[in-house]
Structure 1
Amino acid sequence: MPAPTLAEQDLRCSFCTKPKDEVAKLIAGAGVFICNECVQLCAEMLKEIAESEATPAPQAVPDVKLPEIPEVPWPDAMTDQEILDFLPRIAAVGAQVDANLKVWVERLRDRGVTWARIGAALGTTRQSAWEKFSGEE
């Protein structure tokens, strides 16, 4: 079976997990994706950090208050329930990475690349790669 096309894949932002159909742009990385909305949020956060670290000039520009930027919760500041609520998001990204890896392996198989080479690239055996990605039992 050939690898699915990009249009056929259930691609999601690895940060907010929104599907590709709910965002204007999805940018690909190594098995992960980031949407234009999360890129914008990152840009705003970086701008806020840069502005707070910059030494003000003698004739400083008037202070402009940026909108409140939500931060990613960190486990040491989260309750048990917040961590439990966060687990599905992490699992969804993990499932997306696994599905994307399978697609890349299928592309290599479509090109005739051997299971031995695929296994070696993944640091595993030919047999383990075949068992994980072939879809056969």
Structure 2
Amino acid sequence: MFARCSFCSKPNTEVDTLVAGPGVFICDGCVQLCVSVIEGKPADVPLIAPWEHDLPLEQVLSNLRPVSAASTQVQDNLAAWVGKARALGGTWSQIGEALGMTRQSAWERFA
């Protein structure tokens, strides 16, 4: 399984650098884009969630697939980390506690 940039979906085999966070990744190209956006942003622009902007329906609909893909990637990464914890001898109680859920909920979700 390849790690993919959570922003542009490029696999680690197609980027120079992929920085890992907790279950997410960002490639060097997206970092450069972020830096240019941050440097060019006026200081007095209010921060609002992207879905709260006035957008046409077509643009909102076009965002659904990439958001869903990012969610799937995060869920896959979480399952891989849980699998790693189990392989290292972690109990369902420990995993549930780490996830803020019961042992039973962790087992039902990941077993």
| TM-score interval, smaller chain | 0.7 to 0.9
Instruction: Kindly provide the amino acid, as one letter, of the partner of residue 44 in structure 1.
Output: S
Per-residue deviation, 1:15? 1.2
Structure of higher CA gyration radius: 1
Instruction: Kindly provide the amino acid, as one letter, of the partner of residue 103 in structure 1.
Output: A
Q: Quick one: higher RCO (CA 8 Å, sep 6+), 1 or 2?
A: 1
Instruction: Kindly provide the amino acid, as one letter, of the partner of residue 88 in structure 1.
Output: R
The structure 1 segments of at least 4 consecutive aligned residues displaced by more than 4 Å after TM superposition are none
C-alpha RMSD over aligned residues: 1.7
Task: Give me the whole-angstrom Cα distance separating, in 1, the residues matched to 2:9 and 2:55.
Answer: 20
**What are the within-5 Å matches in structure 2 for residues 112-123 of structure 1?**
112-123=89-100
SS at match of 2:101: coil
SS at match of 1:13: coil
Aligned identity (percent) is 46
TM-score (norm 2): 0.85
Task: Identify the structure with the greater helix proportion.
Answer: 2
Q: 22, 25, 28: which one pairs with 1:30?
A: 22
Structure 2's unaligned 5+ residue stretches are: 44-48
Alignment correspondent of 1:126: 103
